[in-house]
Chain A
Amino acid sequence: MCDTCGCGPEGEAVLRRPGEGSGHNHEHHHHAEGGGHQHLHGENGDGHAHHEVHHHAHEGRAGRKIGMEQDVLRENNLLAERNRGYFEAKHMLVLNFLSSPGSGKTSLLEKTIPALRDVVPVAVIEGDQQTTNDADRIGALGVPVIQVNTGTGCHLDALMINRAVKELEPADNSLLCIENVGNLVCPAMFDLGEALKVVVISVTEGDDKPLKYPYMFHEADVCILNKTDLLPYVEFSAETCRENAMRVGHDIEWFEVSVKTGDGLDQWLDWLKTRLERR
Chain B
Amino acid sequence: MSVALSIVDAVEEKARLEGAGRISEIELVVGRMAGIQPESLKFCFPAAARGTLAEDAVLLIEEREALGSCADCGSTFPVSFYLVECPRCRSLGVRVVSGDEFLIQSITIEEE
Interface residue ranges, A against B (CB under 8 Å): 1-5, 7-9, 30-31, 35, 37, 39, 48, 56, 58, 61, 63-76, 153-155, 157, 186, 188-190, 211, 214-216, 218-219, 247-248, 250
Taking CB atoms, residues of chain A closer than 8 Å to B59 are none
With A2-B44, A67-B105, A73-B6 already in contact, the answer to whether A61 and B81 are too (CB < 8 A) is no
> How far is it, in angstroms, between the C-alpha of A75 and the C-alpha of B9 when the chains are bound?
11
With A61-B24, A72-B102, A190-B2 already in contact, the answer to whether A211 and B108 are too (CB < 8 A) is no
> How far is it, in angstroms, between the C-alpha of A209 and the C-alpha of B24 when the chains are bound?
38
Q: Is B67 an interface residue (CB 8 A)?
A: no
Interface residue ranges, B against A (CB under 8 Å): 1-14, 17-18, 20, 24-25, 28, 33, 35-37, 40, 43-44, 47-48, 50-52, 81-82, 84, 92, 101-111
With A2-B1, A63-B24, A214-B81 already in contact, the answer to whether A68 and B47 are too (CB < 8 A) is no
**Chain A residue nearest to B18 in the complex (CB):** A66
> How far is it, in angstroms, between the C-alpha of A190 and the C-alpha of B36 when the chains are bound?
12
Which one of B35, B50, B102 lies within 8 Å of A71 (CB-CB)? B102
- What does DSSP make chain B's interface, helix, strand, loop or mixed? mixed
- What does DSSP make chain A's interface, helix, strand, loop or mixed? mixed
Taking CB atoms, residues of chain A closer than 8 Å to B9 are 30, 37, 39
Instruction: Check A72 against B103 for contact (C-beta < 8 Å).
Output: yes
**Chain A residue nearest to B107 in the complex (CB):** A66
10 extra A-B contacts, CB within 8 A, seeds A65-B106, A68-B14: A2-B43, A3-B43, A30-B5, A63-B109, A67-B105, A67-B106, A70-B10, A76-B6, A186-B3, A216-B35
